[in-house]
Amino acid sequence: MEPNPAGSTWKRFVAVSRLAVILTIDVARIIAIANQKGGVGKTTTAVNLAASLAAAEQRTLLIDADPQGNATSGVGLQKETIPLTLYDVLVGNSDLRSSRQASIQFEKLDVVGATPDLAAAEVELVDKADRDHVMRGAVEVLREDYDFVIIDCPPSLGLITINMLVAADALLIPLQCEYYALEGLSQLLNTVHRVQHSANEKLGIDGVLLTMYDSRLNLSRQVADDAREYFGPKVFRNVVPRNVRLAEAPSFGKPIILYDIASVGAQAYMNVAKELIERTEQGDDGAQ
C-alpha cells in the first residue's frame, strides 16, 4: 500500500503535541500577532496557527482584534449572527467569557469574533483613563482556561493594537518575504519598547515568522537572511511558503488543515505550531 505522507505527518504531529500537553503549561500564553503593515499574513497565521494548536489538543482561544473580521470569517463564523464580539468586551458591555464561541471546528478551539463596529471601540476607548489596559484586565481572568490565546491584530499601531500588546506575553511578527519586508519594523519595535517601558515589561517576541516564502526567488532568500541576521534565533526555523491553498481556504471558512491537510501550507503551519509548543516548553521567550 502507498504510504500516506499527510497521515504520517499528522500522527507525528499529534504525538509530539500530546507529549507537550503532558509536560505543560497550565496557564495560557497570550500571543498577539502583529505587524502594522497590511497583508503580510497576520490573519492567515492567526487562524491556521490557532487551528493547528487546537488540533494538537492545546486549549486555544483565537481572538479577532481586527474590525475587518477576517479571522472570524476564516474559521467559518457568520459575522451577522455573532451576538457578542470583542467590541462589546472593549467598551464594557460584556466580558470575554460571555463573548466567546465555544468549540469552533475543533473541540479545543474557542473564538471571540470581530465585526466592523470594532473600529468604534478605537474611538470610544480614547476618553477612558485606563484605555491601554482594558484588554489586559479582560483576558487575565481566562488564563487558566487555555494553553494558548492567539490574537489577530489589525494593520495599525492604534489603541486596539496597543491594548493587545499590553495584554500579551509576547508578540509574533509575520514578515512577508517581499520587497520592503523590513521597512516599518523599527516603528513596530519602537512601539514594543514603549509598551515594555510603560505598561508591560515582560512583553517578549515569541518569534518572527517568514510568510509567503518562495525558495526560487533570491528576494525571499535575501529577506530571510536579513531577518535571521537581525533577529537571530527568534526567527522560526519553519517558514510558510507561498501556497495558493492557504489563500483559498478562507473563502470556504476553513483553516487549512480542514481544507487541504496534504498541502504544503497545512504542513508548514502544523510545523510552526509544533515549533511554538517546543519553544514555549523551553521558556524561549525573552523580551528584546
Nine-digit cell string for 217: 526567488
* Closest CB to Mg ion: residue number: 43
Give the CA radius of gyration of the chain.
18
The SS3 of residue 224 is: helix
Choose the contact partner of 41 out of Mg ion, ligand ATP, none; CB within 5 to 8 A by kind: ligand ATP
Distance (Å, whole) CA 59 – CA 204: 21
Q: Is 41 in the site for ligand ATP (CB under 6 A)?
A: yes
Which position has the grid cell 495560557? 28
Write b or e for each residue in 107-126: b if 16 or more Cβ atoms lie within 10 A of its Cβ, otherwise e: ebbbbbbbbeebbebbeebe
Establish if 39 lies at the interface with ligand ATP (CB under 6 A). Answer: yes
Residue with cell 479571522: 71
Q: Is 42 in the site for ligand ATP (CB under 6 A)?
A: yes
Q: Which of residues 134-163 bind ligand ATP (CB under 6 A)?
A: 155
Strand order in the sheet with 29-33: 109-112, 60-64, 148-152, 29-33, 170-176, 204-211
Look at residue 39 and give the partner it binds from ligand ATP, Mg ion, none, a contact being a CB closer than 5 to 8 Å depending on partner kind. ligand ATP
Does residue 75 bind ligand ATP (CB under 6 A)? no
| Minimum distance from residue 158 beta carbon to ligand ATP (Å) | 13
> Cα 179 vs. chain centroid, distance in angstroms?
23
Say which amino acid occupies 69: G
Q: Binding residues for Mg ion, how many (CB under 5 A)?
A: 3
Site map 16..45 versus Mg ion, x via CB under 5 A: --------------------------xx--
Which residues of the shown chain bind Mg ion in the complex (CB under 5 A)?
42-43, 70
Which residues of the shown chain bind ligand ATP in the complex (CB under 6 A)?
38-44, 66, 68, 70, 155, 211-212, 240, 242-243, 246-247, 250, 265
